[in-house]
A and B are shown apart, each in its own frame.
Chain A
Amino acid sequence: MDKKILTDIWVYLAASPLLWLTVTLIVYLAGLWLFRRSGGRAWFNPVALAMTLLAAILLLTGTPYTTYFQGAQFIHFLLGPATVALAVPLYLHWDRVRQLLLPIVIGLLVGSLTAIVSAIGLAGLLGGSPRTLLSLVPKSVTTPVAMGIAEKIGGIPSLTAVIVILTGVVGAVAAPALLEALRIRDDAVKGFAIGVAAHGIGTARALQISSLAGAFAGLAIGLNALLTVLLAPLIVRLLHLTP
């Protein structure tokens, strides 16, 4: 084939949503395949694999992120209905949730505060700039909400999105082993702790532990989003953080 034709096809496809939407799905399926081939080993996290591969492809082809996102936004958009769908596991496990109301409320308060304060504390000690600290505040909250919080308190929303996702990957990779080491046996507690710290990506992992763990992780996503929306501006004001 003529080189000109190939270039023309590339120029056409690279700008259309179809290409990057399809590539994202294929790369995700490849990541999932690798994860399963590895026997579900936590280090082969499908999100981390797919992110790395896609970032490499975009950098190698010189494709700007905005072009990529025009295609990938159709996947990103589904975060909304997926959040609504979290009501389903919650409904199915409501009896257990009701029994554990007090541990949930106390665990949420302590966990949410710990997530915010430990993130900005550690990053502050290690020389993080003010805008980075502000972008870290909502790091344990689900992406769309976290970006909204970052914008409101003076962080960088797109940086927050990346931080949130990497936080989720860390939680998905390390939390099950950590909970095992701490001898936490209750799937409800496991799921809730993973959901508070590592939102949706952690929840994807918690759903693999059990449906009960997934339900509690989903509950934690919603509750932690609500609480962090209220806590973040207060903590930022108390610590005199400004961009």
Chain B
Amino acid sequence: MIGAMAVLLGLQLIGEVAVQISGLPIPGPVVGMVLLFIALRWRESLPEALRTTAETLLSHLSLLFIPAGVGIIQHGARLADEWLALLAAMVLSTLITVAVTALVMQWVIRRQRGARWDG
């Protein structure tokens, strides 16, 4: 558990440093994720401790967003003034995005399968 946390934090740290040095507009934790993925592929195995720690963290992923979400209390005035625009953007745009992404992916998958059968 502690070892696995050290691996996750260590890779995030390397990621943050790499971003600072390179000036790339990529977030440090995403670089850390790529590094961990490469390391796992290279090892060709997943240590048990890392698997359980990652699963525990990810199964409570929604908890981690709550502190930032409570920040809503700082924006009362803007929310009251622009609630309709914000609500439409958050609800409709999110549903449209889910639908468009899923339909486009499914369409490409079917075309690929079709092409494989034809050729």
How many residues on A have C-beta within 8 angstroms of the other chain's C-beta atoms? 105
Q: Which residues of B contact A55 (CB under 8 A)?
A: 70, 72-73
- Tell me whether A103 is interfacial, beta carbon within 8 Å: yes
The residue of chain B having its C-beta at the shortest distance from the C-beta of A174 within the complex is: B95
A212 → chain B, closest Cβ, in Å?
14
Contact residue range for chain B? Answer: 35 or more
Distance between Cα atoms of A221 and B55 in the complex (Å): 17
Count contacts between A and B, CB distance < 8 Å: 315
Q: For chain B, what secondary structure do more than half of its interface residues adopt (helix, strand, loop), or is it mixed? A: helix
Q: Would you call B78 and A87 a contact (CB within 8 A)? A: no
The residue of chain B having its C-beta at the shortest distance from the C-beta of A144 within the complex is: B27
Q: Would you call B89 and A128 a contact (CB within 8 A)? A: yes
Q: Which residues from chain A sit less than 8 Å from chain B, CB to CB? A: 24-25, 27-28, 46-47, 50-51, 54-55, 58-59, 65, 68-69, 72-73, 75-76, 78-92, 94, 100, 102-104, 106-108, 110-111, 114-115, 118-120, 122-124, 126-129, 132, 136, 139-140, 143-145, 148, 152, 158-159, 161-168, 170-172, 174-175, 178-179, 182, 184, 186, 189-190, 192-194, 196-198, 200-201, 203-204, 207, 214, 218, 222, 225-226, 229-230
